[in-house]
Structure formats: C-alpha cells, structure tokens
Amino acid sequence: MARLARQELPPRSVVITFDDGGYDFHAAALPILQEFRFPATVYQATYYSLYNRPVFDVMCSYLLWKAGRVRFTLSGVTAGPVELDRTNFRAIAGEIKSVAFSRGLSAVQKDQLLIRLADALRVDYQTILRNRLLHLMLPEEAREVAAAGVDIQLHTHRHRVSRDRRLFQREIIQNRQYIGCETSTVARHFCYPSGVHAPEFPEWLREVNVVSGTTCEPGLAAPETNPFLLPRLVDGASLSEVEFEGWLAGLSSILPRRRYEMASNQFLEQLYGANTPVLTRDTGDNKRAA
C-alpha cells in the first residue's frame, strides 16, 4: 500500500488475496503458493476458526446443490414439501437462511439446522465433517500459515459488519485479538465481508488503526485510489479464462460491465436482531467463543 501511494511498485504488480481463511487454503492453496514462491494475504474471519464446524451460509447452499433433484420437507422451516433441482437451489437456500436470520439462531442452532437439512436431503453429513469441507482453519493451522510467510489480516470476527459504530469496531477489535494470538502481530489491513461497505465505514476503520479496506468491486488499484475502497478481481467459478486474461492484460478494466451489487445479509443486526453480541475477551475453549 505504501509503495502504491509512492508510485514505487514495478509494472504489472499483483497482490494475491484469499478471503475467510478456509481449511482448504491450508490444505491445498498454501503448498501451491510455496511451490511458486508467491506471497499472499489471507483475510481471516475468526469465529468459525474456533467453532470448528462448517460455515452455515455456504454449507446450506452446498447441501442443496449436492442433493440435486429431490423432494424434501424441513419441518418448522419450509411451508411444506419442496421440489428441489439444480435451477432453484439458490432460491431455496436463501429462504432457509432468511428463516435462520429472522429467528436469530446461534451458531449451534444453525449447525443443528444443517444436520436436519442434510438428513432431509439424504446427504452424508458425517463424511463432510470428516473432510472438513467449508470449515475455516483452526488456530494452530493459521499459526502454521503465518509461520510460512502468509500475511493474515482482518475480516471481522463473525464475517459481519454493523451500521452501529460500536458494534462495527468491536468486530474488528475482536478479530484483531484472535489474529494477534495466531501471528504475534497487529493486523491493520481489512477486507469487508462479502465486499459489503458503507460510506461511514472508512472513518470507523481509521479510528481503530486500520489503514486499508478491500472491497469486492472489480477494478485496478492506482495511487489515487481510496485506500479504504480498494477494488480487486474476485476469481470464482463463474470467471472465464478469457475474462481472467483480460484483467491480467488490463483491458477488462476499461470495458463496460454491469454495476456491482453488494451482497445482502451481512449485517450483525440481521443475524442476531436484538441479541447482537457484545465484545468479550475469549481465553478459554471453543464453546466460550460461541
């Protein structure tokens, strides 16, 4: 960031970032980065690192995708039998997540809901747990990653932001505390969960000694770019090789494209409602982090 501001970076410089800090980063991505000696930054959400279970949002979608075409009922959640297929699983996942949000379910309750959903869909959930699919790195794995030279930075504790300044900053402070225990450093760079940001967030970040904020909005960073609204290329399954090559060549940044839409359901208020948690200094076991 400092070299970008001073215009001292070499031509075609690239920064490689990973969001969330998944177990698959430790197991699969890290060896590749080491093979090619590529530096990288992991924006680490920490709650599910301590609560060693699948991340609810993505696992809910995965189970429905994995089930394929099936008719199922989830008592107390669906209004009746649901006809599931590969064209409507995202919409159904959204409905199930909305129920969890509206009821303010805890992580344990959401995990129980995933178990029920997998059973209703006849998906082998125990194998998923053994393989740690859609889990985050455990603290000891994050320490190994940091020792290997990967830069671990801020992504909020619960992968949520808030329109309340106090709650927003508590997420950063708690996230920083956990990362500090893993890396013995003070994290000062931040990535907005799912790219969700608001006009007031940069100032709130400055107040807790954060120096940059990364979005999910496509673009190339320049010296004049707001350091708290950094663009980047999100490389997902929907990005074609041609699009990827276009960004590497710099052409895609000047081509017309659809307006970026930020994700929804990334606010603490939506997740917990009136029971939005306050900051605690967790020093004990995984249950305390819940």
Q: Quick one: what percent of the chain has pLDDT higher than 70?
A: 89
For residue 175, is pLDDT > 90? yes
Span 105-145, pLDDT tens digits = 888 999 999 999 999 999 999 999 999 999 999 999 999 99
**What residues have CB less than 8 Å from 278, skipping those under 6 apart?**
170
Is 34 in the same domain as 156? yes
Is 139 in the same domain as 128? no
Angle ∠(281,289,171) on CA atoms, nearest 5: 60
Angle ∠(193,86,23) on CA atoms, nearest 5: 40
Is 48 in the same domain as 109? no
Which residue, among 173, 177, 183, has the nearest Cα to 42 in the 3D structure?
A: 183
User: Which residues share a beta bridge with 18?
Assistant: 42
Is 194 in the same domain as 63? no
Which residue, among 74, 66, 67, 116, has the nearest Cα to 95 in the 3D structure?
A: 74
Query: Considering 133, 163, 196, which residue would you say is the last residue of a domain?
Result: 133
Is 2 in the same domain as 40? yes
Residue 79: per-residue pLDDT: 85
> Are 218 and 234 spatial neighbours (Cβ–Cβ below 8 Å)?
yes
Which comes out higher in pLDDT, residue 259 or 171? 171
Is 123 in the same domain as 211? no
Is 174 in the same domain as 35? yes
Span 177-215, pLDDT tens digits = 999 999 999 999 999 999 999 999 999 999 999 999 999
> Are 137 and 145 spatial neighbours (Cβ–Cβ below 8 Å)?
yes
Is 142 in the same domain as 214? yes
Query: Considering 133, 161, 179, which residue would you say is the last residue of a domain?
Result: 133
Segment 234-261 shows an average pLDDT of 83
> Are 68 and 86 spatial neighbours (Cβ–Cβ below 8 Å)?
yes
Query: Considering 133, 153, 178, which residue would you say is the last residue of a domain?
Result: 133
Is 231 in the same domain as 104? no
How many domains does the chain contain in total? 2
Phi/psi of residue 152, nearest 5 degrees: -100, 125
Distances (CA, A) of 216 to 122, 244, 263, 283: 35, 15, 10, 33
Residue 287 — very low, low, confident or very high, per pLDDT cuts 50/70/90? very low
Residue 260 — very low, low, confident or very high, per pLDDT cuts 50/70/90? low
Distances (CA, A) of 29 to 17, 51, 229, 235: 11, 22, 26, 14
Mean pLDDT computed over every residue of the chain: 88
Residue-range definition of the domain harbouring residue 28 = 1-52+135-253+261-290
Segment 53-62 shows an average pLDDT of 94
CATH number of the domain that residue 14 is part of: 3.20.20.370
Distance (Å, whole) CA 158 – CA 278? 12
**What residues have CB less than 8 Å from 116, skipping those under 6 apart?**
74
Is 45 in the same domain as 166? yes
Six-digit token string for 188: 């000062």
**What residues have CB less than 8 Å from 25, skipping those under 6 apart?**
18, 42, 137, 145
* Sign of the dihedral through C-alpha 18, 173, 286, 108: negative
Helices (H), the chain: 2-5, 23-24, 30-36, 47-50, 56-67, 89-103, 107-121, 125-131, 139-147, 165-183, 201-207, 241-249, 268-272, 286-289
Is 27 in the same domain as 102? no
Is 111 in the same domain as 144? no
Six-digit token string for 158: 């619960």
Residue 180: per-residue pLDDT: 95
Angle ∠(10,17,54) on CA atoms, nearest 5: 175
- Radius of gyration over alpha carbons of the chain, in Å? 20
Residue 208: per-residue pLDDT: 97
